[in-house]
Amino acid sequence: MSEIEVKHLSKTFMQKDLKVDALTDISLNIEKGDIYGIIGMSGAGKSTLVRCLNFLEKPTDGQVFIEGKELSSMTERQLRQQRMKIAMIFQNFNLLSQKNSIENICFPMIIQGKTKAEARKRAKELLGIVGLSEKANSYPSQLSGGQKQRVAIARALACNPNILLCDEATSALDPQTTESILNLLKEINEKMGITIVIITHQMSVIQKICNRVAIIENGHLVENGLVSDIFAHPKSHAARELILRDAHGEISSAAAQVPEIKEGQKIRIVFTENSSFEPVIANLILQFGHPVNILFANTRDVGGVAKGEMLLQLPDDRDLRFRMEDYLRERGLELEEVDD
């Protein structure tokens, strides 16, 4: 049984007299222990989707099952009970501004009916887990973004959830803080066995910690599966764009000085572990006696596995190009053509 199962979910908003389809026929399964990424450009509907997982938004159509129990069949009371087991963190942290760290972490436990003493004891433990013991009496306004998110994570863990939903949880943070928050999430996933769902628009976040990913575009699920598979051969246009956007960001600054060769087809190659022993590109050039232009190369950590990635510009000659592509494929490389 999947931890979370979404079946044919659709969500329509009414804006004035206009019907807006935020989500259309989404189906996906999230297994226990997954760190599941949901990625899309802004406005793709991913925030709505994650809110359908705890019914903060009620789907117009379709079903959501949490550990086999369907949410729409629940009474309001049961739903509130269920939500205590589905924690959530947010882009803007959403801490109570008039309460200090400890009181913020106590809040969900007080809602759950725990005594104040019990709640405070657990809150102190949790502050230790997120590494903020010395900030127990600080108010959110006295904390940095990363620290606020740590308090929010501690608050989310307070009621021992089975699932943690992260709505753009690192989007307001700088790269270093993002890294440390992602590490913390990974640790939580591994040590406590909490299933994590991450909503983001950054491929780097997905690569860093997710094992599975769903790509949402204009309210449709266009592709989903293992992160390593999708990174190696993205099938949908949206996936390719999201992967390349990261790479392109880095190219454009490097390419600024070099006059770009305006010829030839660009291809993207992905090296897996076993293909990196042979000096493939060097051999390719020697074999054909014609240079290729390396536009970009990078190694990325995808779910703990190092993957090489390279953008090549092949010669304009069609025949030569096809032969080069075949040569690369024969050596077990995955490649795809790229049009800017």
Partner 1 sequence: MIEILARITGLEPQLVLLLLKDTVLTIYMVIMSTLFGYVIGLPLGIVLNVTDKDGIAPNRVVYRILDVITNIMRSIPFIILLMVLMPFTKWLIGKSYGADATIVALVISAAPYISRMVESSLDEVDKGVIEAARSMGANNWTIIFRVLLSEAKTSLIVGATITLGTVIGYTAMAGAIGGGGLGADAKMYGYQRGNMLFLGWTIVVLVILFQIFQMIGMKIAQKTDHRK
- The window from 102-110, 180-188, 299-307, 315-323 that contacts partner 1 (CB under 8 A) reads 102-110
Which listed residue (74, 111, 320, 335) binds partner 1 by CB under 8 A?
Answer: 111
Which listed residue (8, 19, 80, 237) binds partner 1 by CB under 8 A?
Answer: 80
> Does 105 participate in binding partner 1 (rule CB under 8 A)?
no
Which is closer to partner 1, CB of 11 or CB of 83? 83
Name residues contacting partner 1, limited to 162-221 (CB under 8 A). 165
Name the DSSP class of 265: -
Distance CA 198, CA 38 (A): 6
Which is closer to partner 1, CB of 110 or CB of 281? 110
Name the DSSP class of 233: S
Name residues contacting partner 1, limited to 55-74 (CB under 8 A). 56
> Does 92 participate in binding partner 1 (rule CB under 8 A)?
yes
The minimum distance between CB 90 and partner 1, in angstroms, equals: 6
C-beta of residue 161 within 8 angstroms of C-beta of residue 85:
yes
Which listed residue (94, 236, 265, 275) binds partner 1 by CB under 8 A?
Answer: 94
Q: Which two tokens stand for residue 69?
A: 């129990």
Which is closer to partner 1, CB of 196 or CB of 270? 196
Closest CA to 132 of 116, 117, 148: 148
Beta pairing partners, 7: 63
For CA atoms 83, 88, 94, 96, give the dihedral sign: positive
Closest CA to 292 of 237, 335, 230: 335
> Does 139 participate in binding partner 1 (rule CB under 8 A)?
yes
For residue 159, report the phi and psi dihedrals to the nearest 5 degrees.
Answer: -100, 25
Alpha helix locations (H) across 3-64?
46-52
Which is closer to partner 1, CB of 172 or CB of 338? 172
Beta pairing partners, 284: none
Distance CA 255, CA 250 (A): 9
- The window from 10-18, 26-34, 138-146, 201-209 that contacts partner 1 (CB under 8 A) reads 138-146
> Does 19 participate in binding partner 1 (rule CB under 8 A)?
no
- The window from 60-68, 75-83, 119-127, 286-294 that contacts partner 1 (CB under 8 A) reads 75-83
How long, in residues, is the chain?
340
Which is closer to partner 1, CB of 165 or CB of 269? 165
CA 84 to chain centre: 23
Which listed residue (159, 232, 297, 335) binds partner 1 by CB under 8 A?
Answer: 159
C-beta of residue 197 within 8 angstroms of C-beta of residue 165:
yes
Which is closer to partner 1, CB of 54 or CB of 313? 54
Q: Which residues bind partner 1 (CB under 8 A)?
A: 54, 56, 80-84, 86-88, 90, 92, 94-100, 107-108, 110-112, 139-141, 159, 165
